[in-house]
Amino acid sequence: MTQTTAADIAALAERGVTILGCGKMGGAMLRGWLAAGLPPEAATVLDPAPADWLRELAARGLRLNPERVEDAAVCVLAVKPQVMAKAAPQVAHLAGRGALFMSIAAGTPISFFESLFGADAPIVRAMPNTPAAVGRGVTALIGNAAATEAHMRLAEALAGAVGAVVRLEAESQMDAVTAISGSGPAYVFHMIEAMAAAGRALDLPDELAMTLARQTVIGAAELARRSDASAEQLRRDVTSPGGTTAAALEVLMAPDGLTALMTRAAAAAARRSRELAG
C-alpha cells in the first residue's frame, strides 16, 4: 500500500490542494490528508453547501469558497458527474499553472476533462470507495498522456492517505473496478442485511441477528486483512467436512449460487458505468 509521507504533505502544503465538491468521498480524502499532517490553511474547498465540519475548519484556516483559487499543486474534482460540466470551468485556469487534476467522478472519462482543461493538462482518473472514510479504502488510478511518473506518484500519495492504491493498465478497466471495488461496499452491506434476515428467519430477535451479522463480517474482513492465506484457504479453515458450514456452502457454491449471482451483479454495474460514460 502506498503511504502518504511527510515529504508528500510538505509538497502539497507549499502550493496547496483544492477540492471541487466536498461531499462524502471528497470529505473522506480531505480528512485523510489532514490526519496525515496537511495544515488546514493549505486546503481550499469549493462547495456551494459546505458541511458544518468544513465551516469549523474554515475558522482554523481552511479556505472555503474563495472568489478565485490562484494556485494549487493538485485539484481534486469530486462533484457529482451530472454537475461536473457546470462546476469544473471554475478551476480550469489551474491547468495553466501546472496543477494536477485528479477526478473521482464515477463514469466520467479522461477525455471529458481533456476537453475542458486541454490535452496538455495532467489528469488522473481515480476510483476510490467509501471505506476511505475510515482509512480502509482502495483507490484505482489511471493517468492521461500528460501525467508523468511524478504526477502518478503524487496521486498515489494522496489516495494512500485513505487506504490502498492500485494502478490500472488502461482506462477501459475502470468500469470493472467500479463494479467490484467502487460499488462493492454496498454488496457487503447488503450481505449483512441478508445474514441478519436469515437470522430472523431462524427466530433470532432483530437486534441480535443484526449484531451477529455485522460483527461476523467485520471479524472476517479483519482476519482476511491480517492473514497471508488466500480467501479460499480461509474459507476451508472454517469448513469441517460434513459440518454446518459445509451444508451452507453447498447452497452458496451451487452453480447458480453466490459466485454466479455476484458475476451478474458486477456485470450490471459495469454496464451502467459504461452507459454513464456515454
Do residue 159 and residue 52 come from a single domain? yes
Please check if 80 is assigned to a binding site. Answer: yes
pLDDT reading at 20 higher than 50:
yes
Q: Is residue 1 part of a domain?
A: no
State which of 142, 177, 212 marks the end of a domain: 177
Residue 78 known to bind ligand: yes
81 is an annotated ligand-binding site residue: yes
Where does 183-243 have alpha helices with state H? 184-201, 206-226, 231-238
* 163 and 211 both lie in a single domain: no
The response to whether 64 counts as a known ligand-binding position is no
The answer to whether 108 and 84 have CB atoms below 8 angstroms apart is yes
- Give the domain-ending residue among 152, 177, 202: 177
Instruction: Please choose, from the candidates 66, 78, 64, the residue with its C-alpha nearest in 3D space to the C-alpha of residue 22.
Output: 78
| Phi-psi group of 65: left, alpha or beta (phi > 0 → left; psi -120 to 50 → alpha; rest → beta) | left
Work out the pLDDT band at 122, boundaries 50, 70, 90: very high
Looking at the domain assignment, is residue 205 inside a domain?
yes
Together in a domain, 29 and 95: yes
CATH number of residue 216's parent domain = 1.10.3730.10
Mean pLDDT of the chain: 92
| 23 annotated to bind ligand | yes
In sequence order, the 6+-apart residues with CB closer than 8 A to the CB of 5 are 157
Domain extent for 163:
6-177
Residue 164 and residue 177 in contact, taking contact as beta carbons nearer than 8 Å: no
Residue 21 counted as an annotated binding residue: yes
Per-residue confidence (pLDDT) for residue 135, from 0 to 100:
85
96 annotated binding-site participant? no
Say whether both 68 and 100 belong to one domain.
yes
Whether 86 has a binding-site annotation, put simply, is no
pLDDT per position as a tens digit, 159-190? 988 899 999 999 999 999 999 999 999 999 99
Domain count, the chain: 2
Residues 66 and 122 occupy one common structural domain: yes
184 marked among binding-site residues: no
Tell me, yes or no, whether 164 and 189 share the same domain.
no
pTM above the 0.75 mark? yes
Q: What is the pLDDT of residues 219-263, one digit of tens each?
A: 999 999 999 999 999 999 999 999 999 999 999 999 999 999 999
